[in-house]
Amino acid sequence: SNTQTPARMALVDVNGKIVKELGNAKGPDMDAYAIAKTEIIRIKSADGLFELPALVTWPAHYDKTKKYPMLISIYGGPNAGTVWDRWNWSPSRELLAQEGLIQVAFDHRASGQFGKAGVNYMYHDLGYWEMEDYSTMAKWFIHNAGADPARIAITGFSYGGYMTCYALTYKSDVFTYGMAGGSVVDWSLYDTHYTERYMGTPESNPEGYKKSSVLSYIGRYKGLLQIVHGTMDDNVHMQNSIQLISALEDAKKPFEMMLYPGGRHGWPYLPAKWDDFQNLKAKFIYKYLIKKPIPEGLLH
- Asked if the structure places residue 283 within a domain, the reply is no
- Asked if the structure places residue 58 within a domain, the reply is yes
What are the distances in angstroms from CA 22 to CA 10, 19, 35, 102? 5, 9, 25, 35
Active site residue 237: no
Note whether 71 and 192 are same-domain residues. yes
In this predicted structure, what is the pLDDT of residue 300?
Answer: 80
Note whether 15 and 133 are same-domain residues. no
Q: How many domains would you assign to the chain?
A: 2
In this predicted structure, what is the pLDDT of residue 297?
Answer: 87
Three-state DSSP at 24 gives strand
- Asked if the structure places residue 295 within a domain, the reply is no
Note whether 75 and 19 are same-domain residues. no
Q: Is the pLDDT of residue 25 over 90?
A: yes
- Asked if the structure places residue 300 within a domain, the reply is no
Note whether 193 and 147 are same-domain residues. yes
Active site residue 63: no
Note whether 139 and 11 are same-domain residues. no
- Asked if the structure places residue 250 within a domain, the reply is yes
Catalytic residue among 133, 229, 233, 241: 233
Catalytic residue among 1, 216, 237, 265: 265
User: What average pLDDT does the segment 52-75 reach?
Assistant: 97
Note whether 8 and 73 are same-domain residues. no
Active site residue 193: no
Domain containing 205 equals: 38-269
pLDDT classification of 198: cutoffs 50, 70, 90: very high
Note whether 171 and 231 are same-domain residues. yes
Alpha-carbon span 118 to 113, nearest angstrom: 8
User: What average pLDDT does the segment 189-193 reach?
Assistant: 95
- Asked if the structure places residue 293 within a domain, the reply is no
Note whether 188 and 223 are same-domain residues. yes
Q: Is 17 exposed, middle or buried (0-12, 13-18, 19+ CB in 10 A)?
A: exposed
* Digit-coded pLDDT (tens) for 224-241: 999 999 999 999 999 999
Note whether 67 and 131 are same-domain residues. yes
Note whether 67 and 202 are same-domain residues. yes
CATH number at residue 199: 3.40.50.1820
Note whether 103 and 11 are same-domain residues. no
Phi, psi of 296, deg, nearest 5: -60, 135
**pTM of the model as a whole:** 0.95
Q: Residue 60, Cα to own-chain centre: how many angstroms?
A: 21
Catalytic residue among 73, 158, 183, 241: 158
In this predicted structure, what is the pLDDT of residue 130?
Answer: 97
pLDDT classification of 183: cutoffs 50, 70, 90: very high
List the strands of the sheet with 224-230, edge to edge. 38-44, 51-57, 102-106, 68-73, 147-157, 177-181, 224-230, 256-260
Alpha-carbon span 259 to 63, nearest angstrom: 39
* Digit-coded pLDDT (tens) for 240-299: 999 999 999 999 999 999 999 999 999 999 999 999 999 999 999 999 999 999 998 888
In this predicted structure, what is the pLDDT of residue 64?
Answer: 87
Alpha-carbon span 155 to 71, nearest angstrom: 7
Note whether 50 and 20 are same-domain residues. no
In this predicted structure, what is the pLDDT of residue 254?
Answer: 98
- Asked if the structure places residue 204 within a domain, the reply is yes
CB 87 within 8 A of CB 147: no
* Digit-coded pLDDT (tens) for 106-153: 999 999 999 999 999 999 999 999 999 999 999 999 999 999 999 999
- Asked if the structure places residue 284 within a domain, the reply is no
